[in-house]
Amino acid sequence: MTDSSYLGLLAIGDPHLASRVPGFRKDDYPHAVLDKLRWCVDYAQKQRLLPCLLGDLFHWPRDNANWLLGEVLGLLTNEMLGIWGNHDCTEDSLNVDDSLSVIVQGSRLRLLDETTLWSGAMNGRPVIVGGTPWGQRLPNTFEANAATDQPLVFWLTHHDILFPGYEESGRFKPFEISGIDVVINGHIHRPLADVVSGSTTWLNPGNIARISRSDSTRQRIPHALRIDVDANGWRQHVIEIPHQPFDDVFHAELLDESLPANESAFVQGLAELMSRRTQSGAGLQEFLEQNLSQFDNRVADEIRILSQEMLTNG
Protein backbone atom coordinates (compact mmCIF):
# COMPACT_ATOMS: atom_id res chain seq x y z
CA MET A 1 0.00 0.00 0.00
CA THR A 2 1.49 3.35 -0.97
CA ASP A 3 1.25 6.44 1.22
CA SER A 4 -1.21 8.15 -1.12
CA SER A 5 -3.71 5.31 -0.82
CA TYR A 6 -4.39 5.86 2.90
CA LEU A 7 -7.68 7.51 3.81
CA GLY A 8 -6.86 8.03 7.48
CA LEU A 9 -5.54 6.38 10.63
CA LEU A 10 -6.64 3.62 12.98
CA ALA A 11 -5.45 4.28 16.57
CA ILE A 12 -4.94 1.01 18.48
CA GLY A 13 -4.70 1.46 22.24
CA ASP A 14 -2.53 -0.71 24.49
CA PRO A 15 -3.05 -4.34 23.39
CA HIS A 16 -1.07 -5.75 26.36
CA LEU A 17 -0.22 -8.99 24.59
CA ALA A 18 0.98 -11.71 26.94
CA SER A 19 1.65 -15.44 26.80
CA ARG A 20 0.72 -15.69 30.49
CA VAL A 21 -2.75 -14.68 31.66
CA PRO A 22 -2.77 -11.35 33.55
CA GLY A 23 -5.23 -10.42 36.27
CA PHE A 24 -8.40 -12.44 36.81
CA ARG A 25 -9.03 -13.39 33.19
CA LYS A 26 -10.33 -16.96 32.90
CA ASP A 27 -10.42 -17.25 29.10
CA ASP A 28 -7.59 -17.93 26.67
CA TYR A 29 -6.29 -14.39 27.09
CA PRO A 30 -3.15 -14.74 24.91
CA HIS A 31 -5.13 -15.77 21.82
CA ALA A 32 -8.15 -13.57 22.60
CA VAL A 33 -6.08 -10.38 22.62
CA LEU A 34 -3.93 -11.51 19.71
CA ASP A 35 -7.16 -11.98 17.73
CA LYS A 36 -8.22 -8.43 18.62
CA LEU A 37 -4.96 -7.03 17.29
CA ARG A 38 -5.28 -9.16 14.17
CA TRP A 39 -8.82 -7.86 13.66
CA CYS A 40 -7.57 -4.27 13.93
CA VAL A 41 -4.77 -4.85 11.42
CA ASP A 42 -7.16 -6.53 8.97
CA TYR A 43 -9.74 -3.76 9.40
CA ALA A 44 -7.12 -1.07 8.78
CA GLN A 45 -5.95 -2.78 5.60
CA LYS A 46 -9.47 -3.25 4.23
CA GLN A 47 -10.47 0.34 5.07
CA ARG A 48 -7.19 1.83 3.78
CA LEU A 49 -6.19 3.20 7.19
CA LEU A 50 -2.67 3.53 8.58
CA PRO A 51 -2.57 1.54 11.88
CA CYS A 52 -1.00 3.41 14.79
CA LEU A 53 -0.08 1.65 18.04
CA LEU A 54 -0.43 3.84 21.16
CA GLY A 55 2.10 1.90 23.27
CA ASP A 56 2.11 -1.20 25.50
CA LEU A 57 2.07 -3.78 22.74
CA PHE A 58 3.13 -6.21 25.48
CA HIS A 59 1.95 -6.57 29.07
CA TRP A 60 5.37 -7.74 30.27
CA PRO A 61 8.46 -6.33 28.55
CA ARG A 62 10.35 -9.63 28.42
CA ASP A 63 9.89 -13.37 28.93
CA ASN A 64 7.12 -13.54 26.34
CA ALA A 65 6.84 -16.97 24.75
CA ASN A 66 8.50 -17.45 21.38
CA TRP A 67 5.22 -18.60 19.85
CA LEU A 68 3.67 -15.21 20.71
CA LEU A 69 6.56 -13.27 19.20
CA GLY A 70 6.28 -15.43 16.08
CA GLU A 71 2.55 -14.73 15.80
CA VAL A 72 3.11 -10.98 16.11
CA LEU A 73 5.90 -11.00 13.53
CA GLY A 74 3.65 -12.87 11.13
CA LEU A 75 0.84 -10.41 11.79
CA LEU A 76 2.72 -7.15 11.23
CA THR A 77 3.64 -7.58 7.58
CA ASN A 78 2.18 -4.23 6.48
CA GLU A 79 3.17 -0.77 7.63
CA MET A 80 2.36 0.15 11.24
CA LEU A 81 3.45 3.14 13.31
CA GLY A 82 3.83 3.15 17.06
CA ILE A 83 5.51 4.26 20.26
CA TRP A 84 6.63 2.28 23.26
CA GLY A 85 4.73 2.32 26.54
CA ASN A 86 5.77 1.72 30.14
CA HIS A 87 4.86 -1.99 29.93
CA ASP A 88 7.14 -2.41 26.92
CA CYS A 89 10.27 -1.38 28.84
CA THR A 90 12.23 -3.14 31.57
CA GLU A 91 14.15 0.05 32.28
CA ASP A 92 13.43 3.74 31.68
CA SER A 93 13.50 3.34 27.91
CA LEU A 94 13.30 0.55 25.37
CA ASN A 95 16.17 -1.93 25.54
CA VAL A 96 17.45 -4.34 22.88
CA ASP A 97 16.44 -7.25 25.14
CA ASP A 98 12.81 -6.11 25.38
CA SER A 99 10.29 -8.03 23.27
CA LEU A 100 9.15 -4.90 21.43
CA SER A 101 12.68 -4.40 20.09
CA VAL A 102 12.57 -7.89 18.59
CA ILE A 103 9.28 -7.07 16.88
CA VAL A 104 10.62 -3.79 15.50
CA GLN A 105 13.66 -5.53 14.05
CA GLY A 106 11.61 -8.26 12.39
CA SER A 107 8.47 -6.48 11.18
CA ARG A 108 7.22 -3.28 9.59
CA LEU A 109 6.46 -1.59 12.91
CA ARG A 110 8.16 1.81 12.93
CA LEU A 111 8.64 3.53 16.29
CA LEU A 112 8.15 7.30 16.23
CA ASP A 113 9.68 10.20 18.14
CA GLU A 114 10.40 13.87 17.45
CA THR A 115 12.96 13.05 14.79
CA THR A 116 11.45 9.86 13.35
CA LEU A 117 8.22 10.89 11.63
CA TRP A 118 5.83 9.53 9.06
CA SER A 119 4.84 11.87 6.26
CA GLY A 120 2.67 11.28 3.24
CA ALA A 121 -0.77 11.95 1.83
CA MET A 122 -4.12 10.72 3.08
CA ASN A 123 -7.07 11.18 0.78
CA GLY A 124 -5.05 13.84 -1.02
CA ARG A 125 -4.21 15.81 2.16
CA PRO A 126 -0.60 16.12 3.40
CA VAL A 127 -0.26 14.40 6.78
CA ILE A 128 2.54 14.02 9.32
CA VAL A 129 2.46 11.53 12.20
CA GLY A 130 4.94 11.83 15.06
CA GLY A 131 5.04 10.58 18.60
CA THR A 132 6.46 10.82 22.10
CA PRO A 133 7.01 7.49 23.87
CA TRP A 134 6.44 6.91 27.56
CA GLY A 135 8.88 8.69 29.85
CA GLN A 136 9.84 11.40 27.38
CA ARG A 137 8.76 15.03 27.34
CA LEU A 138 6.31 16.22 24.70
CA PRO A 139 7.42 19.05 22.42
CA ASN A 140 6.18 22.58 23.04
CA THR A 141 6.06 23.32 19.33
CA PHE A 142 6.44 21.45 16.06
CA GLU A 143 7.52 22.86 12.72
CA ALA A 144 6.83 20.92 9.56
CA ASN A 145 9.21 20.99 6.64
CA ALA A 146 8.68 24.21 4.73
CA ALA A 147 8.17 22.20 1.55
CA THR A 148 5.07 20.53 3.04
CA ASP A 149 1.89 22.48 2.30
CA GLN A 150 -0.14 22.89 5.54
CA PRO A 151 -0.14 19.28 6.68
CA LEU A 152 -2.40 17.83 9.30
CA VAL A 153 -0.14 16.74 12.16
CA PHE A 154 -1.09 13.84 14.46
CA TRP A 155 0.98 12.96 17.52
CA LEU A 156 0.96 9.66 19.44
CA THR A 157 1.59 9.73 23.21
CA HIS A 158 1.60 7.37 26.20
CA HIS A 159 1.28 9.59 29.26
CA ASP A 160 -0.72 10.32 32.43
CA ILE A 161 -2.66 13.31 31.17
CA LEU A 162 -5.29 15.27 33.11
CA PHE A 163 -8.31 14.44 31.00
CA PRO A 164 -11.71 15.02 32.64
CA GLY A 165 -12.39 11.90 34.69
CA TYR A 166 -8.69 11.13 35.25
CA GLU A 167 -7.84 13.90 37.68
CA GLU A 168 -6.71 11.40 40.33
CA SER A 169 -3.70 10.22 38.33
CA GLY A 170 -3.02 12.80 35.62
CA ARG A 171 0.27 14.67 35.82
CA PHE A 172 -0.23 17.55 33.42
CA LYS A 173 -3.07 19.26 31.61
CA PRO A 174 -3.51 19.17 27.84
CA PHE A 175 -1.92 22.23 26.32
CA GLU A 176 -1.64 23.82 22.92
CA ILE A 177 1.29 22.49 20.90
CA SER A 178 1.83 24.87 18.04
CA GLY A 179 1.99 22.92 14.78
CA ILE A 180 0.28 19.80 16.12
CA ASP A 181 -3.41 19.38 15.34
CA VAL A 182 -4.27 16.18 17.21
CA VAL A 183 -2.67 14.32 20.12
CA ILE A 184 -3.82 10.69 20.52
CA ASN A 185 -2.96 9.25 23.93
CA GLY A 186 -2.61 5.64 25.03
CA HIS A 187 -1.76 4.46 28.57
CA ILE A 188 -5.16 5.39 30.09
CA HIS A 189 -7.32 2.37 29.35
CA ARG A 190 -10.75 3.92 29.66
CA PRO A 191 -12.05 6.32 27.00
CA LEU A 192 -12.17 9.94 28.14
CA ALA A 193 -13.70 13.10 26.72
CA ASP A 194 -11.73 15.10 24.16
CA VAL A 195 -9.96 18.27 25.28
CA VAL A 196 -9.36 21.20 22.95
CA SER A 197 -6.52 23.52 23.89
CA GLY A 198 -6.02 26.27 21.37
CA SER A 199 -5.32 24.68 18.00
CA THR A 200 -4.58 21.23 19.49
CA THR A 201 -7.21 18.56 20.18
CA TRP A 202 -6.32 15.85 22.70
CA LEU A 203 -7.93 12.40 22.39
CA ASN A 204 -7.87 9.43 24.76
CA PRO A 205 -9.69 6.55 23.06
CA GLY A 206 -8.91 3.80 25.60
CA ASN A 207 -7.46 0.38 24.84
CA ILE A 208 -8.53 -2.73 22.94
CA ALA A 209 -8.09 -5.23 25.79
CA ARG A 210 -9.79 -5.62 29.18
CA ILE A 211 -7.18 -6.54 31.78
CA SER A 212 -8.45 -5.54 35.20
CA ARG A 213 -11.62 -6.83 36.82
CA SER A 214 -13.66 -3.78 37.86
CA ASP A 215 -17.07 -2.19 37.55
CA SER A 216 -15.76 0.31 35.00
CA THR A 217 -14.28 -2.49 32.89
CA ARG A 218 -17.61 -4.32 33.00
CA GLN A 219 -19.23 -1.35 31.27
CA ARG A 220 -16.48 -0.86 28.69
CA ILE A 221 -16.56 -2.10 25.10
CA PRO A 222 -13.17 -2.80 23.48
CA HIS A 223 -12.70 -0.53 20.49
CA ALA A 224 -10.21 1.24 18.26
CA LEU A 225 -10.41 4.83 17.02
CA ARG A 226 -10.80 5.52 13.33
CA ILE A 227 -9.72 8.93 12.02
CA ASP A 228 -10.75 9.87 8.49
CA VAL A 229 -8.85 12.62 6.69
CA ASP A 230 -10.04 14.81 3.82
CA ALA A 231 -9.52 18.28 2.41
CA ASN A 232 -11.69 19.80 5.16
CA GLY A 233 -9.81 18.23 8.08
CA TRP A 234 -10.40 15.08 10.12
CA ARG A 235 -13.26 13.15 11.73
CA GLN A 236 -13.17 10.44 14.39
CA HIS A 237 -15.31 7.32 14.79
CA VAL A 238 -15.28 4.62 17.47
CA ILE A 239 -14.92 1.15 15.95
CA GLU A 240 -16.13 -1.70 18.18
CA ILE A 241 -13.91 -4.78 18.23
CA PRO A 242 -15.48 -8.27 18.47
CA HIS A 243 -15.33 -9.43 22.08
CA GLN A 244 -16.92 -11.75 24.64
CA PRO A 245 -19.18 -10.68 27.55
CA PHE A 246 -17.42 -9.57 30.73
CA ASP A 247 -18.63 -12.58 32.75
CA ASP A 248 -17.22 -14.96 30.14
CA VAL A 249 -13.70 -13.57 30.39
CA PHE A 250 -13.32 -12.71 34.10
CA HIS A 251 -13.53 -14.85 37.21
CA ALA A 252 -16.37 -13.77 39.49
CA GLU A 253 -15.33 -11.81 42.56
CA LEU A 254 -15.70 -13.86 45.71
CA LEU A 255 -17.31 -11.92 48.53
CA ASP A 256 -19.35 -13.05 51.51
CA GLU A 257 -21.49 -10.02 52.37
CA SER A 258 -22.60 -11.66 55.64
CA LEU A 259 -19.14 -11.17 57.15
CA PRO A 260 -18.29 -8.12 59.26
CA ALA A 261 -16.49 -5.41 57.30
CA ASN A 262 -13.19 -5.92 59.12
CA GLU A 263 -13.21 -9.65 58.31
CA SER A 264 -14.65 -9.72 54.80
CA ALA A 265 -11.55 -8.32 53.06
CA PHE A 266 -9.30 -10.92 54.65
CA VAL A 267 -11.65 -13.82 53.90
CA GLN A 268 -12.37 -12.57 50.39
CA GLY A 269 -8.68 -12.40 49.53
CA LEU A 270 -7.99 -15.77 51.13
CA ALA A 271 -10.87 -17.32 49.19
CA GLU A 272 -9.42 -15.99 45.94
CA LEU A 273 -6.05 -17.54 46.74
CA MET A 274 -7.55 -20.90 47.67
CA SER A 275 -10.01 -21.18 44.78
CA ARG A 276 -7.82 -20.10 41.89
CA ARG A 277 -4.17 -19.44 41.27
CA THR A 278 -3.87 -16.91 38.49
CA GLN A 279 -0.72 -16.95 36.40
CA SER A 280 0.02 -13.31 37.17
CA GLY A 281 -0.45 -13.71 40.93
CA ALA A 282 -3.39 -11.30 40.82
CA GLY A 283 -5.10 -13.05 43.74
CA LEU A 284 -2.02 -12.65 45.93
CA GLN A 285 -1.57 -9.01 44.99
CA GLU A 286 -5.19 -8.16 45.71
CA PHE A 287 -5.09 -10.11 48.99
CA LEU A 288 -2.03 -8.13 50.14
CA GLU A 289 -3.51 -4.76 49.18
CA GLN A 290 -6.64 -5.56 51.18
CA ASN A 291 -4.75 -6.61 54.28
CA LEU A 292 -1.36 -4.92 54.52
CA SER A 293 -2.81 -1.80 56.14
CA GLN A 294 -3.04 -3.68 59.46
CA PHE A 295 0.76 -4.02 59.59
CA ASP A 296 3.53 -1.56 60.39
CA ASN A 297 4.72 0.24 57.21
CA ARG A 298 8.16 -1.38 57.34
CA VAL A 299 6.66 -4.84 57.68
CA ALA A 300 4.20 -4.17 54.87
CA ASP A 301 7.01 -2.98 52.59
CA GLU A 302 9.03 -6.14 53.27
CA ILE A 303 6.00 -8.30 52.47
CA ARG A 304 5.54 -6.47 49.18
CA ILE A 305 9.19 -6.99 48.26
CA LEU A 306 8.99 -10.69 49.08
CA SER A 307 5.81 -11.13 47.05
CA GLN A 308 7.33 -9.39 44.03
CA GLU A 309 10.43 -11.60 44.24
CA MET A 310 8.22 -14.69 44.42
CA LEU A 311 6.15 -13.62 41.42
CA THR A 312 9.21 -12.66 39.38
CA ASN A 313 11.05 -15.88 40.09
CA GLY A 314 8.00 -18.10 39.94
pLDDT at 306 over 70: no
**Helix, strand, or coil (residue 12):** strand
Give dist(CA 226, CA 76) in Å, integer: 19
Give dist(CA 161, CA 174) in Å, integer: 7
| Alpha-helical runs (H) found in the chain | 29-46, 66-75, 99-106, 215-219, 246-249, 261-275, 282-291, 297-313
Element (H, E) at 116: none
Residue 287 pLDDT:
62
> Domain 3-240 falls in which CATH fold?
Purple Acid Phosphatase; chain A, domain 2 (3.60.21)
Find the largest Cα–Cα distance for the chain: 71
Higher pLDDT, 34 or 113: 34
| Alpha-helical runs (H) found in 107-234 | 215-219
Model confidence pLDDT, tens digit, residues 138-183: 999 999 876 667 899 999 999 999 999 998 888 999 999 999 999 9
pLDDT at 10 over 90: yes
The ranges of the chain annotated as CATH 3.60.21.10 are: 3-240
Is there a contact between 21 and 29 (Cβ–Cβ < 8 Å)? yes
Residue 114 pLDDT:
84
**Region of poorest pLDDT, from 82-91, 107-116, 206-215, 247-256:** 247-256
Q: What is the pTM of this model?
A: 0.82
Residue 259 pLDDT:
46
Number of residues that make up the chain: 314
Contacts of 137 (CB under 8 A, 6+ apart): none
Model confidence pLDDT, tens digit, residues 245-291: 999 998 887 654 444 555 555 555 555 555 555 555 555 666 666 66
